[in-house]
Every structure is written in C-alpha cells, then in structure tokens.
Structure 1
Amino acid sequence: MEKNEQGPLAAIPVQALTLNLTRSTIKMQHSPSWRIDKTNSVHDLVICLTGGGEYEIAGERVVMEPGCAMLIEANRQFVGRAVSSDLYTGVAQHFTLDVFGRMDLISQMELKRSVALPRWPMLQPLVRHYRESVPLSSTTLAQHHMFMVFLTEYIEAAFIGWRQQQEASVDNPDALSLAVMVAASRIAADPLDDGIVGTVLASIPYNQDYFRRIFRRQVGLTPTKYQEFKRMERAMGLLAGGRSVKQTAEQVGYGDSYYFSRMFKHYIGVSPAGYKAAERRHRDGQFPRGEEDGLVVYPLLSRRLRDDSGEGDAS
C-alpha cells in the first residue's frame, strides 16, 4: 500500500471549521535563563526556529529543537525552560479550532505531543516570515491563513487516530455530522483496505442503517461507494504518474483490469486510457474548447452516480 494521500482533515468541509487566534503571536526569544510554569485556557502550538527548549507536560518530557512543533492543549499545565546556549526562538500561537462553532476539534483527535515537521525546509521561511510580520497587538487575515498551514502540517504529522465517538442523541445534528466527517476521513485515509467500511461502521455509536442514510445524505454516496470513489481517486494519481492501466488496477485492489476500467469510467466519467490521454494533452498545454483555463471537468460525482447510490443501498 502506498503512503496515504488523504490527511485527517480531508473529509471535513472548510465551512465547518472555525479557527480563532485568541491573541497575537508570541515571538519567542528566550535566553538560557528562561523558565515558565503556567496554564493557558486555549490551545497553544509552539514551533522552534533556533536553540532548544525542554518541557514537562502531564508527566511527559518534550525536547524542542529547530523544526519541531508541539501542541499544549487548553487547560494543561506545563513547565518549560531553555536548554541551549543559543537563543531559543520560534513562535507560540494561542488558538481554538471548532467544528460548527461549538465543538472543539482538537479534543476529538489523538495526537502526538510533538513532532519534527516533515517539510521543514519549505516551512521554515514561512514560519520566519510569520514571526517577523505579525502585529504586536492584533491578528490579521494573512496570519490566520498562514497559521492554518502550520496547524495542518502539525496535525497530519502528529495524527494517531480519532477518539472513540461518544453516543449522542440523533437529535444532536452537530455530533451526527461530526461522526459522518470522521467516518469519511477514516475511509478516505485507507481506501485500499477491503474491511475499512465495516471497521468504521462498527465504531459508530448509531444504528448502522440510519447512519448509512445520513452518510449518503451528507457525502452524496453510501460508505461503500465512497470507498470505491476514493480508490478511483487514488487510481487517477497513479495513472497520471505513468502507471499502466493494468498496474494501476492491481495497486488499487482490482485483479481484473477490464472490471477496473468499467468502475473507473462509472465514477470518473472517462476511461483510464482516456484519462491518461487527457493528462498528456494538458501537460502539453492542449485543452479542449471550454477548458482553456486548464481545469478538466470530469463528472466525478454525477447525478446518475448519486442516484445509483440510493437510500435503499445497504452498502
């Protein structure tokens, strides 16, 4: 199985999230004698640029070095100190991240306390710019957008899994919508696992038939068909990367390349060979009439496909 292309936030609609920076960024510049012992009422993401620091949080020792990011959850006491002769510099940003403006998303996830950011060479200049450009007493639109990049990078590197969803009343639409998002995220993260839908549904604290209907209403496909669609998205990347139709079929779990081709066209709206040809034309700058902007419009989720996954489908 290839590395997952979908992060834990991939199935959460942008409009469902509310990021709030509760204060301007703390521009860390700590001497070797720096010490701190405090508790914040909101979450705090710390990113180290130079030097080093050491923290104790809930009995866990965390060492911060350049390129490391650490999350300190809301209402969590922490003790920190500098541990290098060089200045310990970086950024510390207080924030909240809510779903539907009411539910704390961070509390729904199991996350590693600290990680080395995998794309640090790319992120380091942006973190430096973020630190140098933020105002002293307010937050800006650009600051929100840049911080969301850092937070997403941290979550994708630190993500362990979703916490067990608590049983909630079907009359609580927020909890139910979050459960659908979590289920879709788990399926999208591992669509090549034949048993992923069963595993996900078994962990949902709702009646499965009822949950399938709600899932289809919100996502547009039943859980099983959503998994098939995500397999086809994975296949699109493999085909665009130069894999043959047969190789792609095998890598996304289809032993019969002819059956795979039928499924691909069913979900994507074009055959695998046609998709590869279109990708080659677009790389050469050739676009059909109406696609001069370079956007290929495939009927990825056509009305027919949505109708085919009707509520009577138990998958």
Structure 2
Amino acid sequence: MNTKEESVKKIKEGFVGQKTILLSALTKKQAAKNELTSKFHLTEMGYYPLAHLHDREREEGSSQYILLYCTEGSGYVEMGTNRYELTPNTYFIIPKNRPHHYGSYQSQPWSIYWAHFVGEHADLIYERYADKNGPDIRPIPYDKKRIDEFNQIISILENSHHSRELEIANISLFHFIASLVYNKETNPAFYDMDAISSSIAFMKQNIHDFFSIEELARQQNLSVSHYSKLFKIKTGHSPVQYFNQLKVHKSCEYLYFSSRSIKEICAELGFEDPYYFSRLFKKCTGLSPSNYKAQYKK
C-alpha cells in the first residue's frame, strides 16, 4: 500500500447509520442443512452509508462470494493486478477464495449494500454473472423497489433467526442477486442504454480531452436529446456533469499520488481556465485543490 495512504487511518466498519447482520455459526449451520436454503444462503450482509475511509483487505480471500452494490459515491476493488472502479448504480461480485482489497474513495465516499453468500447455487449465479469474461463492474438502473427488498431482508433478520425467517431471507437475497445478474434480460429497455456504458468508457479512456455533447451523442449514433435523456436516467447526471466529475476524480488521484502542481494537473486534464477548474473541484469535493492537497498529502 502507498505510504501516503497508510498515514490516513482506514476502517473496516463503524459508519454512522450502518446496518449489519452477522449470522452465528449455529444459524449458518442450520441454513446449510435446510433443504430450501442449503444450496444458497447468506452468512452476513449490511449497508454502509457514506462510508468515509472504508477499507477492507483479505490476503487469503473469503470462503464466500461478496456482493458490493454501490448507490452513491465511489470506490474500488483490487484483485491481483486488476482494479475495478465502482460508481453509483453499479455492482461487483468478488469470487470466493480470491485475495482482494476494496475501499471507498476519500473524496467521494461510497454508500454500499453488501452481502456474503455461499452454496452450489451461489457458484452457479456467480458463473452467470462472470460469464466468459470474468468478474467486472456491471451497471444496474436505480430501482427503489430493489433497495426496499434488500432493507426488508435486513429487517427480517434483525427480528428473528428462526428457520422460517431464514428461509424467507435467503430466498429473497437469491432473488435480489438474480435481479442484478439477469437485469439485461428482465429489463431490456435499460439496455437500450448500452450506448451510455460505451460513452462512459470512452470518457474514461479520453479523460484528458474535452468533447461537446454533440460529439459524444454522434459517437453513439444518437440524437443529442435522446442521448442526454438516457444518460440522465442511467447516471443521474448530464453528460457534461458526469465527465467533469470523472476529471475531478482523476485530479484527486494526481493530487494524492503525484508531485504534479495544480497548474500541471489542470492542463493535463484539458482545463484551459484554472479558476474554473478550482470552482468545479470545490463544488464536487467541498475543498479547493490546494486545501485537498494539503489535507491528504501529509
């Protein structure tokens, strides 16, 4: 880990408003023996809102699969040499028995719903998720009903760990995860927005350039109005706002990990006006670039 990161105390849990369900060894054993839940059952789950300084590393991996579903802010998952970026309305499933490290970005702490699960059907649902290309970040449209379903599972387990409640909770969690994995098939209208995923990938690959909304829409063979509407539905932001947020996020990395000056970073990310960049940076992070650099590069 970078020595500058080590200077900031990271935490595994203990966030204001968090919800956590940890099943006892006896309860997990009962779930593993129950005919309805033996092939898929959770071991723990929860919700971490605005999890500032969240950081978790398992050098030996976990014996369970781990779902991370981000609804706000941003963070990352590292496995081997691969790094995956989680942003709002995306999810990732960490495979079992794989060393990993994940955490929330300091500038934009994430809010995540998470769950650990095991069983033969857990293996199968993970295979459907990973497909032939391996694990990756998957976009998912925001749906309040889906959030309510997750919270309902937590509520059930907060009140009882009896066999019937465990059955309901595990069946519901399987349905929840399946709704993520099979969303493309069950919500085809959303995947008319594959062009937006492509556009976001293009933005990330060309983070040092600037593009007009007309150029971005034309690249995806969409009208400006339709492109803008789809982009707003999928991300909650206009294309320009989203691209600017990506640039600010990249500038945070430069400020934290490099010795570049603010002026150099500004130029590298394509900002001709340093004052505009400073205003944008403060709007997104709550700090000016110089204050951010002073606070996090101690």
- What is the TM-score normalised by the length of structure 2? 0.38
Between Structure 1 and Structure 2, the one with more helix by share is: 2
> Which of structures 1 and 2 has the bigger CA Rg?
1
